[in-house]
Amino acid sequence: QVQLAESGGGLAQAGGSLRLSCVVSGRPSNNYAMGWFRQAPGKEREFVAAINKRGSITYYRDSVRGRFTISKDNDQNTVYLQMNSLKAEDTAVYYCAAEFIYTDLLKYDASEYSYWGQGTQVTVSS
């Protein structure tokens, strides 16, 4: 059974930075495509960024492209989300997700992920 544990959330000022971490336990992360999603109050969960199992291919939603960077360290079984130039609209609970995959593709649809973390709150003050 795969377990995901996010950390690194908190309060940041607009224009500031935060780095989220998601530790994978139970199985080696190099067999899993992974992604970050977020959910703001009163809104649906939305895709933020995805990375393939080898960490060689990434994909972002338009509103974070150029500001956020997803990366994966399979030796540490950890995926990261570096968030720079934060905006108030980035405020949300951020969730890490993982899905076992045979190919080297990535996934950006929440319905394709089987494993989820508990979430970490990110609050950006303007």
Residues 29, 77: contact at Cβ < 8 Å?
Answer: yes
Question: Above pLDDT 90, what percent of the chain?
Answer: 98
27 Cβ contact list (under 8 Å, min separation 6): 1, 2, 100
**pLDDT of 95 above 90:** yes
pLDDT in tens, 7-21: 999 999 999 999 999
